[in-house]
Structure 1
Amino acid sequence: MITNIGRHFDLRMWVCVSEDFNANRLFGLMLESLKGPMPKVEGREVWVKRLKELLDGRKYLLVLDDVWETGLEQWNDFLESLNGISQAMGSWILVTTRSLEVAFIMGISSRPWFLKRLSDDQCWLILKENAFGTGEVPNGLRHVGYKIAQSCRGLPLVANILGGRLRNKGADEWRILKSELQSLGGGEYIEVVEILKLSFDRLLYPSLKKCLAYCSIFPKDFQMERNQLIQLWAAEGFLHSIPRDRMQMEEIGNKYFTILLDSNLFQDGEKDDYGNVLNCRMNGLVYDMVQFISKSKTRSLKNSTEADFLDQTFRYLAVERSGGEAIQFPLNESFRYITTLFLLENKSINIDGWISSLTSLRVLNLASSDVEELPESINKLSHLRYLDSSDTPIKTLPVSLCQLINLQTLRVRDCKSLTNFPNNFMNLVNLRHFDFFSRDKSSDIMPLEIGQLYALQTLPFFNIGEDAGRQIGQLRSLDNLSGSFEIRNLELVRSKKEAKSANLIEKSNINELKLLWNELDNLRENDSEYNQVLEGLHPHQNLKGLIIERFFGDQLSTWIGELKKLVKFELRNCRNCKELPTVGHMPFLKYLHLEGLDNITTIGPSFYGESIMHSRSKLFPALEHLILENMLNLREWGKALDHDGAVEVFPVLNTMRIKKCPQIATFHKSFSMSRELAH
């Protein structure tokens, strides 16, 4: 069925509509679904024009999922703008809804199709797979499990969640769940929500329940970023360290996130190249359950008139996007206890004069709002642990910000107008996550003396500078750095000793390392100086991704071949390198990208690593994706030595692209069938 749909439609888009049927929003989500570049200017006219460029002349399938809007005016407004986007005949719009009224209103071209519930047998298969994977079901649990499957009411979501809850649980847990399900009563919808709440009630830790309930602060179907979510949980004090286990807050947060994902309370986890889950969503019914649980603590605000009616105490406040005049907070008693305030994408709000009155605030999220500056009085928020002003027109941070000694997370991503950081930035001694990544890699702003922030775990990049306080030695003491880390301006490093001062070899939590040099008008005469710098940048053996760009030396370091856990290796525009590193023996290498290596004329035995092979071994045993690009002088791709057929090369390769390699004439025997396969 899926294959037939793929053949019929050139493009497919899936948009979760939920309760916000706003045409402007839907067109933006359609562009996101196509994963094309978003226009810099927002607005319906710009978005519709971009969609026309992508869709014109092509048949498309648009799925509008979970629609609740019953107003014909909004529906017609959307269709009117959609008409004419593509002249091709045969495009379809598929609407899913839980509302019978919506089904009949939107059933313009065809009658509604009512999905049937799954059978008990099908629910049992889903539950069993979530609980045991491909393993066998113990005989004593098969009958109990089928009884639980009968309580799923034919809903795959419930079967998924109950199966996740029972994973790695003993027979007693299975019998307890069966009894709890049999004791439920009430209407059909209430019963489903109550079944979901059973999974909430049975979560192992009280703090884990708080973490899940906190997710009610997000809009429905919001894509939650894993790291951000864990940082928010930590800011609210949900992730207490466990001394006996020596677990840090982030480790506990990752453990909790994994439990919720494995339990299917979180879903649609998107992974990076290393298998790490980046983000997730909550199913609509799970979200409704979380909203119900958190209704006494969480409030959502759409306009200023609503603010006047918030007369009960609460903890978490989300101010939704408003297009009218600025929302004025009454600052009555109900606001005194707010610990989390979200002003996401709010275009008409002024925080001066009242923000410092929220003295219990632990989380302040201003991302994508039009806030231009933070008030000097922000230092009064002594409990603040999380501050996000990403994607705002903010130009500078107040000096008083650096008095927030409890601040754990500071996010200023994509703040294009930001010109500098306060000179006393190093006073933020408890800062653990500093995320100020910019797509503009020429940006040279960098806080002074960042090496004094010993607790730092998140630092997306470091711009080396010549001034004191910005040299590579600042990285020496930052041994807790984790995730992806990028070092820029390496042309300013002049010796192996200076490079070693970064102490990369002790940074065991860095997942991916990018080493970047800038193009120079006048290269140094001695290539060995560049080679020695790279030698001094020796990373920890735990590294899974290595990207090297514009390295000026002629010889790559031998430590590259010693990174046994590498999953991804990219070598770009290193034009003086005379020989490729030995990577054929790496057991986990899946992605290999070689580009702009002007001095490479031959790919030979040293690349495969045959001198360290064992008999009857495999070369590149895990490599799935191979790219060779702009290798202008590459003439020969030699084969691996035969060894009487005992060696298998590229056994799992499924994608190879060779581009702008005009002189290559000899291919490895595995690719001699057709150069067209390498596209």
Structure 2
Amino acid sequence: GKTTLLTNLNNKFSTTPNDFEVVIWALVSKDYDVEKIQDRIGENVGYSDGSWKNKSADQKAIDIYGILSNKRFVVLLDDLWQRVDLNQEICGEMGARRKIKVECLEPETAWELFQDKVGDETLNSHPDIPNLAKQVAERCGGLPLALITIGRAMACKTTLEEWNYAIEMLKRCALPKMKNEVFPLLKFSYDNLPNATMKCCFLYCCLYPEDYCIPKKRLVEYWFCEGLLDKFDRINEAQMQGGDIISSLLNACLLERDGENYVKMHDVIRDMALWITRKFEATEDTFFVKAGAQLSQEPYVKAW
């Protein structure tokens, strides 16, 4: 929900009068790179030519300071992974006039979001399901991404047995031995994918870099070439299966639409997929991943 909130702020600053002369949006990502952030800031203040991008980080900092030092500006940093000091004293030292702590969703709001993703048809399929659905929603701990993905996973579950099973599985996610409470919750949606082919195709998507716009057509071709799809005599049959898998992953909220021809993987979903491949999927389709290495060919055997 943080990116959605930040997007709304950015849109408001862009469309309504405010105290800022310059509004800058910069995507940070986990692989923190100061110069990439400088380039994004530079694009917002008129530095976008190739010669400026070739300058050193120190030179860019001087140029940016020269432009912004005499202006009122706001910088919106999205997808920030490094720790930020949230102590209220720090906020005071920075001159913050109003401090807002972004909390998880309140129970009522979380329930509304979960209902929306599950759908009325499923919730009304049995008189006892709404009560069980509330228990599932509570297990999501007010986390929007968990509510959305688990809600979509339960959208076709119309029996009490399925809902009770979901509650039991989510209870196991809360065991103290689980170091990351989010990934086990999200893994529930992965576990509910209907077959091994779809699961493997989903995990394959985590090989793309973070925040990457994945061409749907190219993705299906890669699945086919890697042998992840069923065996077909004609390529168009494989393309149809690949398209169906993409639609299913979109409906499960494990992929996101990015225009008509592209999809994206939410950064937390991607990290969950990497976590699954590392912890659970010891199969012949194991992946080799090294973020930021920009591999163009496989390394020598000794480097694996």
TM range (shorter): 0.7 to 0.9
Please list the CA deviations of residues 558-578 of structure 1 after superposition, one character each: whole Å capped at 9, or x if unmatched.
xxxxxxxxxxxxxxxxxxxxx
User: For 2:190 and 2:85, how far apart are their aligned partners in 1?
Assistant: 31
User: For 1:23 and 1:163, how far apart are their aligned partners in 2?
Assistant: 37
User: For 1:249 and 1:114, how far apart are their aligned partners in 2?
Assistant: 48
> CA separation of 1:220/1:110 partners in 2, compared to 1, >3 Å: closer, same or farther?
farther
Maintained 8 Å contact 1:242/1:248: yes
Counterpart for residue 44 of structure 1: 53
> CA separation of 1:28/1:99 partners in 2, compared to 1, >3 Å: closer, same or farther?
closer
Spell out the pairing of 1:48-447 with structure 2 (5 A cutoff).
80-86=62-68, 89-95=71-77, 97=80, 100-101=83-84, 103=86, 109-110=94-95, 113-132=100-119, 137-138=123-124, 139-171=127-159, 172-184=161-173, 185-186=175-176, 190-241=180-231, 248-267=237-256, 269-271=257-259, 277-295=260-278, 315-316=287-288, 320=292, 331-332=300-301
Q: What SS does the corresponding residue of 1:93 show, helix, strand or coil?
A: strand
Moved more, 182-191 or 170-179: 182-191
User: For 1:280 and 1:102, how far apart are their aligned partners in 2?
Assistant: 34
User: For 1:166 and 1:160, how far apart are their aligned partners in 2?
Assistant: 10
> CA separation of 1:177/1:136 partners in 2, compared to 1, >3 Å: closer, same or farther?
closer
* Aligned-residue offset at 1:254: 1.2
* Aligned-residue offset at 1:15: 3.0
User: For 2:177 and 2:64, how far apart are their aligned partners in 1?
Assistant: 40
In structure 1, give the amino acid aligned to 2:155: R
User: For 1:332 and 1:145, how far apart are their aligned partners in 2?
Assistant: 49
User: For 1:19 and 1:282, how far apart are their aligned partners in 2?
Assistant: 14
> CA separation of 1:78/1:196 partners in 2, compared to 1, >3 Å: closer, same or farther?
farther
Q: What SS does the corresponding residue of 2:258 show, helix, strand or coil?
A: strand
* Aligned-residue offset at 1:177: 1.3
User: For 1:80 and 1:14, how far apart are their aligned partners in 2?
Assistant: 19
User: For 1:141 and 1:230, how far apart are their aligned partners in 2?
Assistant: 37
What percentage of residue pairs aligned between the two structures are identical?
18
Counterpart for residue 616 of structure 1: none
> CA separation of 1:247/1:149 partners in 2, compared to 1, >3 Å: closer, same or farther?
farther
In structure 2, give the amino acid aligned to 1:155: L
> CA separation of 1:12/1:183 partners in 2, compared to 1, >3 Å: closer, same or farther?
same
* Aligned-residue offset at 1:86: 4.6
TM-score by length of 1: 0.36
Counterpart for residue 36 of structure 2: 25
Please list the CA deviations of residues 241-294 of structure 1 after superposition, one character each: whole Å capped at 9, or x if unmatched.
579xx9711111111111111211122x222xxxxx322322232121111122
User: For 2:12 and 2:292, how far apart are their aligned partners in 1?
Assistant: 40
> CA separation of 1:121/1:289 partners in 2, compared to 1, >3 Å: closer, same or farther?
same
User: For 2:182 and 2:42, how far apart are their aligned partners in 1?
Assistant: 34
Maintained 8 Å contact 2:105/2:144: yes
> CA separation of 1:331/1:314 partners in 2, compared to 1, >3 Å: closer, same or farther?
farther
User: For 2:132 and 2:243, how far apart are their aligned partners in 1?
Assistant: 32
* Aligned-residue offset at 1:204: 0.8
User: For 2:280 and 2:37, how far apart are their aligned partners in 1?
Assistant: 30
User: For 1:101 and 1:16, how far apart are their aligned partners in 2?
Assistant: 16
TM-score by length of 2: 0.73
User: For 1:199 and 1:12, how far apart are their aligned partners in 2?
Assistant: 37
User: For 2:77 and 2:116, how far apart are their aligned partners in 1?
Assistant: 29
> CA separation of 1:236/1:30 partners in 2, compared to 1, >3 Å: closer, same or farther?
farther
Maintained 8 Å contact 1:221/1:283: yes
* Aligned-residue offset at 1:114: 3.0
Maintained 8 Å contact 2:122/2:156: no
In structure 1, give the amino acid aligned to 2:198: L
Please list the CA deviations of residues 129-175 of structure 1 after superposition, one character each: whole Å capped at 9, or x if unmatched.
1221x768314321111111111111101111111112233234333
When the two structures are aligned, how many residues end up with a matched partner? 278
Gaps of at least 5 residues in structure 2 are 1-7
> CA separation of 1:131/1:38 partners in 2, compared to 1, >3 Å: closer, same or farther?
farther
* Aligned-residue offset at 1:17: 1.1
Counterpart for residue 4 of structure 2: none
In structure 1, give the amino acid aligned to 2:263: C
Q: Which has the higher contact order (CA 8 A, sep 6+)?
A: 2
* Aligned-residue offset at 1:12: 4.8
Q: What SS does the corresponding residue of 1:84 show, helix, strand or coil?
A: helix
Q: What SS does the corresponding residue of 1:123 show, helix, strand or coil?
A: helix
Q: What SS does the corresponding residue of 2:181 show, helix, strand or coil?
A: helix
Counterpart for residue 5 of structure 2: none
* Aligned-residue offset at 1:120: 1.8
* Aligned-residue offset at 1:95: 4.0
User: For 1:234 and 1:250, how far apart are their aligned partners in 2?
Assistant: 8
